[in-house]
Amino acid sequence: MWKKSSNFAGEMKEILIVIGLVAAAMALLAIRIILKKNGQFSSHDIGASEAMRKRGIHCIRTQDWLERQPKKYKINPNNLTSANNK
């Protein structure tokens, strides 16, 4: 089988290398946040988009909430007319 290693200095060197690589990866991931003004990214949520709000498009939570609200006006299907009947 395998030999048990008692080389503590070699194991510590490997651990320090791994910790250094993880720290470098975290620093590289954080560079964009550090360089970005106010450290914030623009929202990718549909509800936060001005263009979507102008079109009346909301996120699914807002659409669901709007559908569950009581309707002020009830539509009578018997009184509906098509555009051709004008």
CB neighbours of residue 68 within 10 Å = 7
SS3 category, 19:
helix
> pLDDT > 90: what percent of the chain?
15
pTM exceeds cut of 0.85 = no
pLDDT at 11 over 60: yes
How many structural domains are present in the chain? 2
pLDDT at 83 over 70: no
Please report whether residue 49 resides in a domain.
yes
18: containing domain? 8-40
pLDDT at 9 over 60: yes
Stated length of the chain: 86
Give CA–CA dist 31/37, Å, rounded: 12
DSSP state of 73: S
Please report whether residue 83 resides in a domain.
no
- Residue 36 confidence class, pLDDT cut points 50, 70, 90: confident
